[in-house]
Amino acid sequence: MPVTVLIDESHRYLLQQPGVVDGILRVAREGRKAGLYLMLTTQSPLDLPAGLLGQFGNYLIHRLNTATELAQLPALAPLGQRIALQQVGEAILAGNQFVPPRELQIRQVAAMQHQTASPKFF
């Protein structure tokens, strides 16, 4: 039976304990053949090791704000301008299973209204 391990806000946990990155990297590299899959979420791709990010074949990307962040994910370089200009609720699904990449509009669930929108200055 396939199992997917989800590590939300992975940048917070993967670098805090010695050996954790090695263990997660091993799951990412070798787990697929045993039906063990890995999904990471992060708002800080710069805080994750490049070797770990390279193990993922598919990405769901919301806006990245700097060229340095985009450089951490070289497979996404051709999408740089599109990624940099995304608005709230927009994402790009790219990778091995999504050629060409797909642009997504994420709808907010009415029952989950958050007051986290960026302030409007102009």
Separation CA 52–CA 56 (nearest Å): 8
> What's the pTM value of the predicted model, to 2 decimals?
0.68
Residue 122 binned pLDDT confidence (cut-offs 50, 70, 90): low
Question: Is the confidence at residue 19, as pLDDT, over 80?
Answer: no
Identify whether the C-beta of residue 74 lies closer than 8 Å to the C-beta of residue 59: no
As a whole number of Å, the end-to-end CA separation of the chain is 52
Could you give the CA distance from residue 61 to residue 86 in angstroms, rounded to a whole number? 10
pLDDT digits (tens, 9 = 90+) for 45-84: 888 887 788 888 888 888 887 888 887 777 788 888 888 8
**Tokens, residue 93:** 């699904």
Q: Which residue ranges make up each domain of the chain?
A: 1-56, 57-107
Report how far residue 32's alpha carbon sits from residue 103's, in angstroms, rounded to the nearest whole number.
Answer: 27
